[in-house]
């Protein structure tokens, strides 16, 4: 955060100082919307959610070091009172960005955003001060918070941008106009909110490209026809990446080792170098190429990009997060979120990693799939069977039950909830098994993965199929 006085911030966001005895007190640390993450010298933004109202934690935030609270009403401690906290946070972030000399790199897609963001950040950090989105803070609150972490030294600002509806990316790029826009793919995530079809998703994702100035760079996935179509929405310079032969940044000679980790020759306009990823699944090649394309645009050498990708590690939890238990059981937590594309990629990677070990898939629902939800869950069930996965634990009523019925050659257990999934999985798991846990985040199946990762229970025999 660039230092700003409370009086300055109030002027920028059109707010009123309340309970402030020192209007020239400086805010020098990043802002937070969670009182537990307040940094001394920062600003606490009191937002009201469905279950928790941040205004109730204003006093605690100030006691923990916040200079003041950005609030929608007086809170009994120093505050800047505004009409709408979320809007004010975006206005403040936009103002701060105008005072910085940094390149904004924005990325979006239906699958792989967070992994690609983490890869790109690791490519750039050795070369210049870089700030990137924490975890998946990619919405109307998370993006301003990321911008407000930047300071005068920041040269690269890597922003993951999520879109649940049309117009979301237009709003986010209004706060942080990108010089580089990277679009990964178009899939069925949030399809029910965007109009019901992939063309609607593409229209929403394309807002990231439409936001570019003519001297910007649009990085488009050559392997996704919906993404390629976005070239019509910008006059910026276009760079194609992917596995297609006409992609300027592409992968050749792709191989996967016995731990399901991919390697490939990275080919760019300036050279070729071998990359060996420490990530699981062949689908990670596309994420790595997206990050590489952005790095090429910024002038990094092919050798440096390849070395950076090879050295990169998984940073964010809940995305194919692997725990090796003392009894030889491998638990894979991929339960941060799920849609048809990520479910297919995750299941393929899980099966490749397991090799000849027994496989147990604990799968819940994929949210926001509109009228196609039942058929898409049935497709997942058929894929479970086609991959030869040994056991499926289907979690929840409705669509997960349809998924279970479609997995007709697999030993299937159906359970009502997360607690049931944890109980049945615990009874089933034997030393040496590989367990894969995945569902949309709102179903909370990550709790099952975390519990299974902690366990080391002697094998007592199989449970009876439900």
pLDDT of residue 401: 96
Provide the angle, in degrees to the nearest 10, between the axes of the packed helices 168-175 and 85-98: 50
pLDDT of residue 460: 41
Element containing residue 438 per DSSP (H, E): strand 434-438
Please write down the HEC assignment for all residues of 380-396: HHHHHHHCCCCEEEEEC
Phi, psi of 191 (to 5 degrees): -60, -30
Mean pLDDT, consecutive 10-residue stretches, the chain (466 aa), reads 97 98 97 95 93 95 97 98 97 98 97 95 98 91 97 98 94 98 88 81 96 98 98 98 97 95 97 97 96 98 98 89 95 93 95 97 92 94 98 96 95 97 97 97 94 69 39
Phi, psi of 303 (to 5 degrees): -65, -45
What are the structure tokens assigned to 19, written together? 């309970």
Determine the 3-state secondary structure of 31 from DSSP.
Answer: coil
CA–CA separation, 119 and 351 (whole Å): 24
Other Cβ atoms less than 10 A from the Cβ of 72: the count is 20
Q: What's the CA angle centered on 429, arms 427 and 430, to 5 degrees? A: 120
pLDDT of residue 456: 59
Would you give the DSSP letter of residue 464? P
What are the structure tokens assigned to 375, written together? 């058929």
CA–CA separation, 352 and 193 (whole Å): 33
Would you give the DSSP letter of residue 260? S
CA–CA separation, 425 and 364 (whole Å): 13
pLDDT of residue 136: 81
pLDDT of residue 49: 84
pLDDT of residue 465: 39
What are the structure tokens assigned to 361, written together? 């898939």
Delineate the domains of the chain, giving CATH numbers in brackets: 4-85 (3.40.1390.10), 100-311 (3.40.1190.10), 321-454 (3.90.190.20)
> Could you tell me which of 29, 183, 167 has the C-alpha nearest to residue 105?
183
Structure pTM?
0.89
The residue written with tokens 């706060």 in the block is 175
């Amino acid at each position: 955060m660039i230092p700003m006085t409370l009086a300055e911030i109030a002027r920028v966001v059109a707010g009123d100082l309340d309970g402030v005895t020192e209007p020239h007190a400086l805010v020098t640390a990043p802002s937070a919307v969670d009182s537990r993450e307040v940094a001394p010298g920062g600003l606490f933004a009191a937002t009201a959610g469905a279950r928790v109202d941040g205004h109730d934690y204003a006093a605690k935030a100030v006691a923990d070091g916040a200079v003041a609270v950005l609030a929608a009403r007086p809170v009994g401690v120093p505050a800047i009172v505004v009409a709408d906290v979320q809007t004010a946070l975006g206005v403040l972030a936009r103002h701060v960005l105008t005072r910085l000399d940094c390149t904004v790199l924005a990325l979006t897609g239906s699958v792989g955003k967070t992994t690609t963001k983490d890869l790109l950040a690791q490519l750039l950090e050795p070369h210049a001060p870089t700030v990137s989105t924490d975890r998946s803070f990619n919405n109307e609150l998370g993006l301003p918070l990321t911008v407000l972490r930047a300071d005068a030294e920041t040269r690269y600002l890597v922003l993951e941008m999520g879109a649940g509806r049309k117009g979301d990316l237009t709003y986010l790029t209004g706060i942080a106009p990108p010089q580089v826009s990277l679009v990964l793919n178009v899939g069925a995530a949030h399809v029910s909110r965007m109009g019901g079809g992939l063309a609607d998703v593409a229209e929403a994702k394309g807002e990231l490209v439409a936001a570019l100035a003519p001297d910007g760079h649009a990085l488009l996935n050559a392997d996704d026809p919906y993404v390629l179509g976005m070239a019509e929405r910008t006059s910026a310079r276009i760079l194609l990446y992917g596995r297609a032969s006409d992609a300027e940044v592409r992968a050749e000679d792709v191989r996967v080792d016995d731990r399901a980790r991919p390697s490939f020759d990275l080919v760019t306009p300036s050279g070729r170098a071998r990359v060996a990823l420490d990530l699981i699944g062949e689908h990670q090649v596309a994420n790595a190429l997206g990050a590489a394309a952005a790095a090429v645009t910024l002038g990094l050498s092919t050798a440096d990009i390849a070395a950076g990708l090879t050295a990169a590690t998984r940073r964010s939890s809940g995305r194919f997060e692997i725990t090796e238990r003392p009894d030889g059981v491998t638990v894979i937590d991929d339960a941060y979120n799920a849609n048809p594309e990520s479910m297919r990629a995750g299941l393929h990677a899980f099966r490749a990693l397991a090799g000849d070990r027994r496989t147990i898939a604990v799968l819940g629902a994929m949210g926001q799939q509109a009228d196609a939800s039942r058929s898409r869950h049935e497709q997942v069930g058929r894929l479970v069977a086609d991959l030869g996965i040994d056991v499926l634990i289907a979690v929840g009523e409705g669509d997960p039950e349809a998924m279970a019925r479609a997995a007709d050659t697999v030993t299937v257990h159906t359970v009502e909830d997360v607690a049931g999934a944890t109980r049945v999985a615990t009874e089933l798991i034997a030393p040496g098994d590989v367990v894969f846990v995945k569902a949309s985040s709102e179903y909370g199946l990550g709790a099952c993965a975390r519990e299974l990762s902690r366990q080391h229970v002697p094998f007592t025999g199989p449970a009876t199929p439900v």
